[in-house]
Amino acid sequence: MKILINPDVSTWKEELARPVFKTKKINRIVKPILRKVRRNGDKALIKYAYEFDHVELEDLQVDQTEIKEAAAALPTDLKEAILVAKKNIERFHAAQAQPELVEELMPGVVCKRKSVPIQRVGLYIPGGTAPLFSTVLMLGIPAKLAGCKEIVLCTPPNEEGKIHPAILFTADLIGIHKIIKSGGAQAIAAMTFGTETVPQVDKIFGPGNQFVTAAKQLATNFGVAIDMPAGPSEVLVYADDTAVPAFVAADLLSQAEHGVDSQVVLVTHSQKFAKKVLKEIEEQVEQLPRKDIAKKSLENSVAIVLNDLKTALELINFYAPEHLIISVEQEEEAVQGIVNAGSIFIGKYTPESVGDYASGTNHTLPTYGYARNYSGVSLDSFVKKITYQKLSPEGLKNLGPTVEVMAREELLEAHKNAVTVRLNYLKKNS
């Protein structure tokens, strides 16, 4: 992890470049997978499970026996932890619900807007090097709160054809019963087109590797929406001399261990502080079971020393991090200056880990700079907003002439006439 001292603005793009996806090469692999799943359905999923997951599957869907066994296999403290996280996530996401909006804009003209659940959603849960049962909470809870009619969960099996018990326990806890043993691009394809076992969905959610990400983006060509374009996980920590170097190092490593293509960034005002953090990283990384992954990730990472708050905020907003930790003396000013970030963690006692698991916010967030124009997953992600309008005879008389003039000037005579014939009718029958 290199240190840069006051890099010129013109170099920020190069110095902060995320690991590059070889999109064309990845798509050449993913597109045939989508075609085969579309054509062969379950048969293709079973074939890919053997090829990629090294398991021979008889059934793609998890049965109730497996779910009961999973619950029995989990330690009590993990079940209790999941329940605490569930409670916080439910409470925060339930509070995001918006009441129906009704407004009479002029006499006889009433407009409404209300949230309507997306009917069929697909949740992708990674299960490879780190089975993310926490993502089941983050996606399943808002889907349930929104009232989505059908929820299907896809996650890859292990070599014994089993799903991680924590994933099964968590899914069952929040009422998701359609659980499919399929991962990778093939799972995205199944939810995009539908198979004999996997229902076709309207929107796909969830993180994944570069093949999953590519498949999700290709799915949008077939009328399926996705939560957001996303890349590898990332964190930027903005810290000054009031921060604790050991805390900062731990936060950086918590993201570095996600994957070799993850990226972590430190922004600080002191080269001396940056060196303290890097020393802590060297010591802490050796204690990690995933240290080889973290070390590789650190090769993509950088510590940047900047003189002042204003420049630091400019760089942070330029980078638009997925996770942003702020641990500086000018905390409030720093927080108020951020306009591009997925989720912000404030103060030295707020590690990014709490948002990943149990604080209540959602951990499915925009990466790769998409925080400039995307939000993280929320209750709103699982609903669509429908607007309504109803005019009384009085309302049409009040508003109709305005519409006639505007339609006439746009040379759309049929639009104008749709109003005129009604006004003439009202005049004739008054």
For residue 300, pLDDT over 90 is answered with: no
Query: Exposed, middle or buried by CB within 10 Å (0-12, 13-18, 19+), for 268?
Result: buried
Total structural domains within the chain: 3
What is the extent of the structural domain holding 282?
2-18+231-360
In-domain check, residue 108: no
Among 311, 340, 360, identify where a domain stops.
Answer: 360
Q: Render pLDDT for 184-223 as a digit per residue (tens, 0 to 9).
A: 999 999 999 999 999 999 999 998 888 999 999 999 999 9
For residue 225, pLDDT over 90 is answered with: yes
Active site residues: 322-323
Q: Render pLDDT for 95-137 as a digit per residue (tens, 0 to 9).
A: 999 999 999 999 999 999 999 999 999 999 998 666 889 999 9
Q: Is 104 annotated as a binding residue?
A: no
Q: Render pLDDT for 76-96 as a digit per residue (tens, 0 to 9).
A: 999 999 999 999 999 999 999
Q: Is 269 annotated as a binding residue?
A: no
Provide mean pLDDT across the span 401-417: 98
For residues 124 and 150, membership in a common domain is answered with yes
What is the Cα Rg of the chain in Å? 26
In-domain check, residue 349: yes
pLDDT the model gives residue 237: 98
For residues 179 and 77, membership in a common domain is answered with yes
In-domain check, residue 129: yes
For residues 352 and 221, membership in a common domain is answered with no
pLDDT the model gives residue 129: 62
pLDDT the model gives residue 259: 85
Among 183, 209, 226, identify where a domain stops.
Answer: 226
In-domain check, residue 104: no
Alpha carbon of residue 200 to chain centroid = 20
pLDDT the model gives residue 247: 98
State the CATH number of the domain containing residue 398. 1.20.5.1300
For residues 216 and 284, membership in a common domain is answered with no
By 3-state DSSP, what share of the chain in percent is helix, strand and coil, each rounded to 5?
Answer: 50, 15, 35
Q: Is 356 annotated as a binding residue?
A: yes
pLDDT the model gives residue 128: 65
pLDDT the model gives residue 366: 94
In-domain check, residue 191: yes
Q: Is 417 annotated as a binding residue?
A: no
CA distances from residue 167 to 154, 164, 376 in whole angstroms, order as listed:
11, 6, 22
pLDDT the model gives residue 20: 75
pLDDT the model gives residue 275: 97
Q: Is 124 annotated as a binding residue?
A: yes
For residues 177 and 205, membership in a common domain is answered with yes
Q: Is 410 annotated as a binding residue?
A: yes
For residues 210 and 248, membership in a common domain is answered with no
For residues 418 and 278, membership in a common domain is answered with no
Among 338, 360, 382, identify where a domain stops.
Answer: 360
pLDDT the model gives residue 243: 97
In-domain check, residue 58: yes
For residues 279 and 407, membership in a common domain is answered with no
Pick from 377, 411, 423, 304: nearest CA to 145: 377
For residues 74 and 127, membership in a common domain is answered with yes
For residues 9 and 27, membership in a common domain is answered with no
Q: Is 415 annotated as a binding residue?
A: yes
For residue 110, what are the β-bridge partners? 104, 390
**What is the pTM (predicted TM-score) of this model?**
0.93
For residues 52 and 124, membership in a common domain is answered with yes
For residues 201 and 148, membership in a common domain is answered with yes
In-domain check, residue 378: no
Q: Is 255 annotated as a binding residue?
A: yes
State the CATH number of the domain containing residue 150. 3.40.50.1980
C-alpha 263/C-alpha 301 separation (Å) is 5
pLDDT the model gives residue 209: 85
C-alpha 205/C-alpha 365 separation (Å) is 11
Asked if 351 contacts 247 with a C-beta cutoff of 8 angstroms, the reply is: yes
CA distances from residue 150 to 77, 184, 191, 215, 378 in whole angstroms, order as listed:
31, 21, 12, 21, 18
In-domain check, residue 410: yes
For the ranges 93-107, 230-244, 271-285, 339-353, the lowest mean pLDDT is seen at 230-244
Report the chain's mean pLDDT, rounded to a whole number. Answer: 95
